[in-house]
Amino acid sequence: MTNMHTGGESGRENVNSSGFARDGAKQGYLVLRFLAAASCRFAWRWLKNGIKFLLGRKIEFDENGLFLRQYVLHVTGIRPIRKITCTGLRSEGAGSQALMLMNAINFARSFGLSYLHTPFSVIQHAERPMEEWAAAWETFFNPGAGEAACDVERYQVVNFCYSFTELDLCFGWRRRGNELADAFKALIPEFRRKYYLNKSPRTTDELVVAVHVRRGDVSSDNSDYFTDNETILRTMAAVKSILDAHKVKYRIGVYSQGTNADFAELSLPGVELFLDVDAVWTMQELIEADILIMARGCFSFCAALISDRMKIFEPVSLSGDDFLPSWKWRSVPLTESWVPCREDGSFDRTVFERQLGTVLQAKGQVEGNDQLGLEEPKTHT
């Protein structure tokens, strides 16, 4: 520090050397921690599979063990990682798996790797036989359109969904988190184009509001993903009030799981409940609504990313190391069409109305250069 205050070159060199040393020590610690943990997992999985083999039971494929070998070959330069695929985590639903796949494509593009597509195979919350269920989501999102198929041996390609945290040791992607988040943002039009390859954008005379309420797999005990009816009602009532004040023709649909009694507070005039309906159809309704009031979680977030309309979302606080670049857009507005709301469900009316004008203009309900094009509400004296 003394040398740095004197402004000498030696001071700056010492500071830089000290910083590099600390970074090197931290990186070395992370590598050793990964090798120790991965080796232990590999040994345990090898033992379990050995016992299963002796008992004549099915042996599980060891994704972590495979990446351990791929990592060692990469850092030694024997076989650098050049190909990425994404099978999806079998324990996750459609929204989560689609988002993971998008991140895999973004990662491959950002680091000059080849993305090889593996179609969805197992997706949770299945409402049909699994093969048909997975195929329905593959056809819905069209993620493999324009991508090379993953037809190589598994040892030749890294499975992103099982190894994205450890891939930081190979490519240092965490230090470029914001850069990768911006790259993901730039790819969203491509994901939207894939989605519309077998669909036409929906057109309606009235403005369509979709309200996604996450229930079923979450309860009030899970504050990270649960939003109570009172908060949702506050958002819906504010939206209805603005639309009514400006004489906008609209319809509102609430999409969730449960019974009508569970959503008695939300049963406002002009609001239709869609409960326990087909999830693929629901996802399309959310994507193509003119205004999407989002729930917390990947299903809503995935729909919002593909949608090119207006979204109302509650920003989440991101913490910890297990994050993906796309998660940045769950904490800050992705574009102006993303209107943040507060914890109590309220939002900035001015911001909402500005975006509402853009939506109405896109629907052809606004003429000329008047972007807002909204009839000012009358004031009573």
Walking along the chain (381 residues) 10 residues at a time, the average pLDDT comes out as 43 50 61 68 66 69 85 92 95 96 97 97 95 98 97 94 91 90 97 96 92 88 85 96 94 95 91 96 97 95 96 85 83 93 95 94 64 46 35
- Determine the CATH number of domain 201-362: 3.40.50.2000
The pLDDT score that the predictor gives to residue 5 is 41
Q: What is the structure's pLDDT at 15?
A: 43
Cα angle, residue 367 at apex, residues 365 and 373 outer, rounded to 5°:
70
d(CA 140, CA 287): 12
Q: Between 279-288 and 94-110, two packed helices, what is the crossing angle to 10 degrees? A: 60
Q: Which string of DSSP letters, residue by residue, matches 228-248?
A: -HHHHHHHHHHHHHHHHHTT-
pTM of the shown model: 0.83
The domain segmentation of the chain, as residue ranges, is 58-197, 201-362
Contact by Cβ (8 Å): 26, 19: no
- Residues 102-106: contacts with CB under 8 Å, at least 24 apart: 102/143, 102/184, 102/187, 102/191, 102/305, 102/326, 103/160, 103/164, 103/184, 103/324, 103/325, 103/326, 104/160, 104/161, 104/164, 105/143, 105/147, 105/187, 106/180, 106/183, 106/184, 106/187, 106/325, 106/326
Residue 332 · residue 325 · CB < 8 Å: no
Which tokens go with 59? 């042996």
Tokens of 281: 């159809």
